[in-house]
Amino acid sequence: MVYMPMAYIYGKKFVGPITPTILALRDELYNKPYSEINWNMARSSCAKEDLVYPPSRMQNIVLACLHKFVEPMLSWWPFNKLRKSALSSLMDHIHYEDENSNYVGLCPINKVLNMICCWIEDPNSYAFKRHLPRIHDFLWISEDGMKAKVYVGCQSWETSLIAQAFCSTKLAKEFAPVLRKAHGFLKAAQVTQNFPTYNSYYRERSKGAWTLSNGENGWPIADTTAEAIKALLLLSKYSPSLVGDPIEEQRLYDAVDCLLSYVNKDGTLSSAECKRTTPWVEILNPSESFRNIIVDYPYVECTSSLVQALILFRNSYPEYRCEEIEECIKKGTLFIEKQQRTDGSWYGTWGVCFTYASFFATKGLVAAGRTYENSVTIRKACSFLLAKQLSSGGWGENYLGCETEDYVDSGSPHVVNSAWAMLALLYAGQVERDPTPMYHAAKELINLQTETGEFPQQGNCWKLQFVSLFQL
């Protein structure tokens, strides 16, 4: 989605008007005069801070051949006809994305690049005019100036988890107005239609899903859908006079149908689509800062959300697609167990990845009937978490673990990591075995809480997770 508009802009060899603003940006962005830059050399240059995954020698050879031999050929007849056809196809896909995402896009990068492509095609076009007001969806003012969000929002994801957290407190009556609003939002945020001819554009089913945000950009996210299903099922247990009417049964079936359509053949769940190909295509990845981004791999935390959602749904609707659901639960649980590392941990997908994945994996296994007493996997997970507990009682983790794919201790407690680790140990029954580590951890979180009831912002802070700790 990002490389499509990049390819279009490059293929058009487009250069905009050179304005004073453009000249000022050139002075600000480059470390030498713009006219002195050797662009052939710049193709392979990268700041050392960003060069996390250097390209292989084979990649360098292939890219050099494309640049030196293939690229010039595409400017000659009849090869330029091929490029013209490709550019037309790219704009077709770009317009499809824009129209079906309400010009919000998948992320701010492809949104802005798509907008530029529409401007290149026609500065006065309807598409470009539709793009302009949606820029504001991504901008916000921080203490030190304007920022751009990495995504349009995560309202559905957070609301689902917050609703689950409130349900775990057993205080639904006291917070009924909050739960009613959350319930209404989740019902309104569900995607109720598929994109037209979505298979032709290499998309997945979307009817019944939830996006990460409010549903407007139309991009279904698999584990957000699973978490929304869990929240709606939990809310359906309360009186409609407290939390509002439950979601229509058919819409819940649509949600489960959509979720099952995302399940891989081995019963696992990826993030935004099924795993479509093999890892060898990662050799096409030109990014020097990120790896494993060409294939949507199955993830422990997504599979855990799948297992939990299906178990909860099965308990309420035991007759609906029962055999498929049972098979998914079994395969998903086995995948989680097989992905455990020798030290007892799991590796996740976020910057704070090990405590996060370990929490989700443990919760999924416990939901599937694994306990400390009957599961070696759970015992190893508890040993890992207890071994990483800091002397203060909390847990911390450095974001560099996401790059090294190994646990990196931050040296100081982080409220989010501490909450994740505590929840995992709670689900695994640590309180019944030895509550002392939990007492120390709870004391650490209490000390970190501010007078307003909030917790401090510490890097990637997901405050909503703490509400679940009320079950202590």
Residues labelled as active-site residues: 223
- Dist CA 340 CA 93 (whole Å): 39
Token representation of residue 63 = 């890219």
Overall residue count recorded for the chain in this entry: 472
Contacts of 465 (CB under 8 A, 6+ apart): 161, 165, 416, 419, 420, 423
* CB-based contact 447:390 (threshold 8 Å): no
CA-closest candidate to residue 98, choices 16, 218, 203: 218
- Dist CA 310 CA 76 (whole Å): 56
Q: Give the DSSP letter string of 190-242.
A: S--SPPTTGGGGTPPP-TT--BSSSSTT--B-HHHHHHHHHHHHHHTTS-HHH
Q: What are the φ and ψ backbone dihedral angles of 263, each rounded to 5 degrees?
A: -70, 135
- Dist CA 302 CA 181 (whole Å): 26
Residue 146 parent element (H or E): strand 145-148
* CB-based contact 141:257 (threshold 8 Å): no
- Dist CA 408 CA 397 (whole Å): 6
Query: CB pairs under 8 A, 24+ apart, for 233-237?
Result: 233/309, 233/312, 233/313, 233/316, 234/163, 234/164, 234/167, 234/312, 235/163, 235/167, 235/179, 235/182, 235/183, 236/316, 237/167
- Dist CA 342 CA 246 (whole Å): 43
Instruction: Check whether the bond before 279 is cis (ω within 30° of 0).
Output: no
* CB-based contact 307:260 (threshold 8 Å): no
CA distance to 2, 348, 384, per residue, from 151 (Å)? 13, 19, 33
Q: Looking at 89-144, which runs of residues are DSSP E strands?
A: 139-142
- Dist CA 226 CA 239 (whole Å): 23
**Residue keyed to tokens 């302009």:** 132
CA-closest candidate to residue 122, choices 144, 91, 93: 91
